[in-house]
Every structure is written in structure tokens, then in C-alpha cells.
Amino acid sequence: MRRMLTSAVALVLVAGLAVPAGAADTPGAVDGATGIWTLETDGEDLVPIGFGNPDDVPFMGDWNCDGVSTPGLYRRSDGFVYLRNTNTTGIADITFLFGNPDDLPIVGDFNGDGCDTVSLYRPSEARFYVINELGEDGGGLGFAEYSFLFGNPGDVPFAGDWDGDGIDTMGLRRPSDGVVYMRNSNSTGIADINFLYGDPGDIPFAGDWDGDGDDSLGVFRPSTGIAYLKNGNSTGVADRTACLGDSNGYPVAGTFGDLGSVPDPGLWLRPIATGFSQPVQVVAPVDDCRLFVVELSGDIELVSGGERVSTPFLDLSVTTGGERGLLGVAFHPDYASNGLFYVNYSIGSKSRISEFRVSSDPNRADSSSERILLEVQQPSTNHNGGSLAFDRLGFLLIAMGDGGGAGDPNEVAENPNSLLGKILRIDVDKTDGGKAYAIPPTNPFGGGGGAPEVFLLGLRNPWRIDVDGEHLYIADVGQDTSEEITVVTDADGGANLGWNTWEGSHCFDGPCSSSGYVFPTLEYSHPDGCSVTGGHVYRGRIFDQLTGTYFYGDFCRGWIRSFVYDGSAATQATDWTLVLGTVPPISSFGVDGFGEIYVTSFSGGAVYRFDPLP
């Protein structure tokens, strides 16, 4: 396998160590703002490592010849290289002085001895200086064994084993035209391989992406945060893509070894973007690198590569005021192939659930593609619910509030014939009975006794639902006494969650009998908060110890708490205030295409992400 380094900053340097064919290199990323390295394990979990400072130039190599790529960095401020021999947070095992201030490190096995070394590229001369021994710890880099000219000043250098002979050689990418030039020997001459690949501004790096024994090119595109990897050195489209973070990230690559014993890092709320108009959701299709930020005012804004896209993904004309607006978005489970997504928004005195399709531009929805699925009359401007989510069976869940007015004055929440105060469930992939959708065969009232769309009853104003396998987490905003979160399964159709006979576990509009009701899995009283904001179960790739943990918050107090549902009760209850602080008013939670959790706030229109502590 080859361990390839990459570095970026204005230019890139890269190379790799030859290892037996069949072992593929894996891309990783270094966050330029925090200095956190994120490496992918064989199971596709991400392991964060703290090493270096935000402005260091990162790379990877096999410094002790054990077959594992580990971090290295060049610190321009003091001119030293710092290397670690393990993929763990810590200080350098080896340090040495490196070249001139504007030189760039190039890493690889340039003599085929199975060990990586740090050589250098001098941009002012377009000259490579090849060094086959690591610098002496605490000393200097050492003298170059040889040097050679290749390319033009301003070309972006990298290195790899292009012909599978076990020796890394140099490559260049010319920013002016995107042409790549590669040599199969470390000597002055013209390119043995040249081809066009990537866009202006892309950062080249290399690795053996398919394990065939030959290195090939990848480019990291800061504007999208995506790496585009090719399995051959020729013009064409990428064979694989990988999300490597934000626009300030640097790509690295290699064979990272066993990372399973690395402990979870600390957690903090990292600001991602601000200035949104009352953000109420962050969502993304599975495995999509972008973020879709839902604004109450009607826009779905895009964040790509850590930067806001100038044009909204969709600009809806919605009715606002009270608790109305664009309230929820869900992407079809097959969005990658069918381009369909669903919205829940207010139009006049109705809640409308509609289907849209993405346009030929992946960053723009086709606004003319709206297919209205369902409209529900709302008697008031509050308690509209708004969440949408697909369950594990592929049915669309729709959270509807009781229509507003204190105490459910119209007694709709427990009335199975009303769509208000419910979780509805429909099949958007079929039509039936003159409707724009079909009724799932296991809906409790599909055969009569209530509205066939109804799945669960007895809700006041569910503000965010989350599907986690067979489980559905429902956060329901309370009236006078308590806030509640109830966990049910997709086999619990027809369950009555109690409102308005019960407010949580407290009798509200008696007579009150516990028979026939499902009571909260967790509740808290109003002195502790005023309005629950439901969240998500963590299923991301970074924080292994948080897997299966459900996070939620309170809109008024801004605290974030969590619990683990063990199948019957809430366990491991945790208050995260000392770690994360508060985020008032906390309007919603969200997840990206890889299961990482986000938090939104009406204060400054901010979006935050659960991130490793720098």
C-alpha cells in the first residue's frame, strides 16, 4: 500500500511508500482552522487527531518503516518539520530544521527502501531536492543526494509511484490550464505522462486508491470540500469521491493502521455559518457533502465546502407569522437517483406537504416541479408541527400540531378522524383512491375507524421527530407543566400519546385514566425550561462513544441534554451545559449526510456542528 502525503496551502507536496499491491490508500483531511486531523478507519469511522497548529503545512509518511502512515507537518513560522510515529494526539517524535522559508516538503520513498523521507521542492527554481534520509532529530534536514529541474515556477508539485516499480517520482499540476505532468524517474526531462484533470483551484494529491500497486491522482476542491479520486492517470471523471470537510481543509492520504484504540476526542459546538433567516432545520441526503439549511421565511439555503452558496436551493413563497412558514424538509431515500424531496410549509390558513424535484443543476431545485400531496386546514397560526421524516420502511412521516389555541379547544388531538395533533404516515411512491399518495397497509385506520393517514394520536405540537431504525423519537411541546419526549416503534401504529387528557404524565383535562395511553420516555418541568426542541440520535463517524445517544434541547433555556434509549427507558441522562454551553434560542437540530449533528439558533441565524475539540 502506498502512503501518500498531501499538503496544501498555496501549493501541494505529496508522495508515497510502496507496499504490496492489493492494499488501497485512504484519503483523510486536516482542518486548516483547528489543526485537527481526521483519518478514516477500515470501517469508515473517522478518527480525529490533534497535532500541530492551524497554519502548519500537513503531510503523512511512514517515518519508522513499519508500514503505517503517520502525521508530519512543516511550520513556516520556525522552519522546522515535526513528525509523529503514531496516529494519536501528541507532540512530535522527531523534529528537524527544513530548507528555506518558501520551500515545500515532498514526502515519499524515493529510493525503494520501504521508508518515507522528507525531500523539498523550491518553487522559485522549479527544482526538486531529493533526500533519502530523515533529518537528524533536533538538527537539520541534511544534504540532498541529487536535485533536478522539472516544470515551471508556479506549478503545484506532488509525488507517487506511477509505474508500480516501488519508487516514488515527481508530478506537477499546472494551475493555469489544469494539465498534469508526471515523470517515472527523478531526473530532469519532459513528462512521461500528461493529461487534463480537475478545475482551477483544485489541490492535487496522490495515492493507490484501488490497491493495484500504482499511484494515481486525486484532487481536493475547496469550493465543495470534496476529493475526486481517479484509478488511472488519464483524462476523465473521478472513479470515487470523498467528503474531506470545509474549504480550509488540506487533503492527506495513506495507510493509517489500526485506529480502533484511539479515544473519543472532546466535544464542542463549532460555528459553521451565521446570518440565516430563522433557521429551523439542517438536513442533507445520505452521503451528500452539502448542507441544506431550512429558513422559516421560505428559503432552503446551501452550504458547500463550509461556505454559503449565493443562490438558494429553493425559494418558496410561504405564509409567515406566528409559528408558520417553511417548517420541514425531507429527502427521499432514493434522492441520489430520483432527485425527489418533500417540504412542509404554511400557505394561507393551511399546512401544505409537497414534493419537488432537483433541476439539472444539483444546487438548484426545479421550482416548477411541485406536486401537492396533502393540505390540512389550520384553525390558528400556532401549533403547526412541521417535521418530515422517512421511516425505515420508506414511508413519509408528517408531524402535525393540534392547530393552536390553549388546551386543544377543538378536541382534535385524540380524535382519530382529524389530521391535527397527529403523526401522519403516507406512501409517496404510489397513488391510490384519487389521492396523490397511497396509505401504507399497516396504518391503524387504513380500514376505517379514523382518517387513514393517521399513524399516532394525542400530540400537542411535535417540534422535531427523529427516525432511528425501528424507533421514532417525538419531542412534543407542553402547555403549562412539562415538556416531553416519547420513543415508540414503527409497530406502535394507533398509539395515543395522551394530549389533551394528559400533559406528559400530568392529568390535564380529566377524567384521567392511564389505560390506553403511551406516556413519555422522558419529561422535564417548566421551571427547567419552556419548550422542548427535539433532536437526533447520533449515528455519525467521529464520536464512537456517543453512538446511539439522543440529543435534544430547550428553546428558551438553550441547554443541550441527551439520553440513551435502551428499548424501554431513557438511560445515561446527561446535561452538556458545562461542555457545550447554551445556545438560546435553540430552534432545531439537524444531521448531515454522514450522521454528524448540527444545532441551529435564531440568535444571529447561526448553525453549529458537534466537532472534535481543537
Across 4-18, 165-179, 464-478, 576-590, least confident range: 4-18
CATH number where 90 lies: 2.130.10
pLDDT digits (tens, 9 = 90+) for 349-374: 999 999 999 999 999 999 999 999 99
Confidence of residue 263 (pLDDT cuts 50, 70, 90): low
- Give the domain extent around 133: 26-254
Is residue 200 included in any domain, yes or no?
Answer: yes
Query: What would the grid cell of residue 539 be?
Result: 449515528
pLDDT digits (tens, 9 = 90+) for 24-42: 899 999 998 888 999 887 6
| Strand 422-426 to 396-400 pairing | antiparallel
Residue 12 pLDDT: 36
- Whose CA is closest to 95, among 128, 138, 145? 138
Is residue 62 included in any domain, yes or no?
Answer: yes
Q: CB–CB of 255/26 below 8 Å?
A: yes
Neighbouring C-beta atoms of residue 135, cutoff 10 Å: 20
- The conformation of residue 178, written as its DSSP 8-state character, comes to T
Residue 261 pLDDT: 54
Across 15-24, 378-387, 420-429, 511-520, least confident range: 15-24
Q: The whole model's pTM is what?
A: 0.92
Is residue 267 included in any domain, yes or no?
Answer: no
- Whole-angstrom Cα distance, residue 87 to residue 93? 12
Residue 7 scores a pLDDT above 70: no
pLDDT digits (tens, 9 = 90+) for 172-208: 999 888 999 999 999 999 999 999 999 988 999 999 9
Residue 14 scores a pLDDT above 70: no
Residue 134 pLDDT: 86
The contacts found for 169-176 with CB under 8 angstroms, 24 or more apart, are: 169/110, 170/106, 170/128, 171/204, 171/206, 171/217, 173/197, 173/198, 173/202, 173/204, 173/219, 175/200, 175/201
**What is the average pLDDT across 138-144?**
77
Query: What would the grid cell of residue 163 be?
Result: 509505474
Residue 260 pLDDT: 61
Residue 264 pLDDT: 67
pLDDT digits (tens, 9 = 90+) for 418-459: 999 999 999 999 999 899 999 999 999 999 999 999 999 999
- Whose CA is closest to 604, among 583, 582, 590? 583
Is residue 465 included in any domain, yes or no?
Answer: no
Is residue 84 included in any domain, yes or no?
Answer: yes
Residue 329 scores a pLDDT above 90: yes
The count of structural domains within the chain is: 1
**Averaged confidence pLDDT in the chain:** 92
| Strand 139-140 to 94-97 pairing | parallel
Is residue 602 included in any domain, yes or no?
Answer: no
Is residue 125 included in any domain, yes or no?
Answer: yes
pLDDT digits (tens, 9 = 90+) for 231-248: 999 999 999 999 988 888
- Whole-angstrom Cα distance, residue 174 to residue 106? 17
Q: Name the CA radius of gyration of the chain, rounded.
A: 28
- Whose CA is closest to 291, among 594, 612, 47, 611? 594
- The conformation of residue 541, written as its DSSP 8-state character, comes to S
Write down the residue that cell numbers 424507533 correspond to: 471
Interior angle at CA 294, CA 288 and CA 300, nearest 5: 75
Q: What percent of the chain has pLDDT over 70?
A: 95
- Whole-angstrom Cα distance, residue 68 to residue 60? 10
Is residue 47 included in any domain, yes or no?
Answer: yes
Residue 13 pLDDT: 40
